[in-house]
Amino acid sequence: MVKYGEPGVYASFGENKEKFYGFMKGFGMDFEKLEGKSLFRFLSLPTMLEAGIGGIFAEILETVDAISARRLVIDPFTALSQGFKSEAEARVFLPLLLLSYI
């Protein structure tokens, strides 16, 4: 994001925004500044089961669209993948969904 000036989204299932920003400042990265320039958005998401996975995806993708993000981090990805009926379903669905935004 900083090096290339491209916007990005960090979707977290286990960390809140303030904790993340504070932790990253310890590494010399100012995500608040990037957010002020519309180059970054942090999403704090609840862990959901299968029934709520569509809403989580909608929120992530709406945020990606809103800032035309070129980078997306989902942390931890296992929290999201557990919302699918099976590992096979996640392996088929996720690449198709995410590739549709490239």
* Residue pLDDT, tens place only, 76-85: 877 777 777 7
Domain ranges of the chain: 8-99
Confidence of residue 98 (pLDDT cuts 50, 70, 90): low
For the cut 80, the answer to whether the pLDDT of residue 2 exceeds it is no
Q: What strands, in cross-sheet order, belong to the sheet with 71-75?
A: 40-44, 8-12, 71-75
Average pLDDT on 50-60 reads 75
The Cα 20–Cα 34 span in angstroms is: 14
The Cα 60–Cα 62 span in angstroms is: 6
pLDDT, tens digit (0-9, with 9 covering 90-100), for 66-78: 999 999 898 887 7
For the cut 60, the answer to whether the pLDDT of residue 50 exceeds it is no
Homologous superfamily, domain 8-99 = P-loop containing nucleotide triphosphate hydrolases (3.40.50.300)
pLDDT, tens digit (0-9, with 9 covering 90-100), for 10-49: 999 888 999 999 999 999 999 999 999 999 999 998 866 5
pTM reported for the whole predicted model: 0.79
3-state class (DSSP) for residue 75: strand
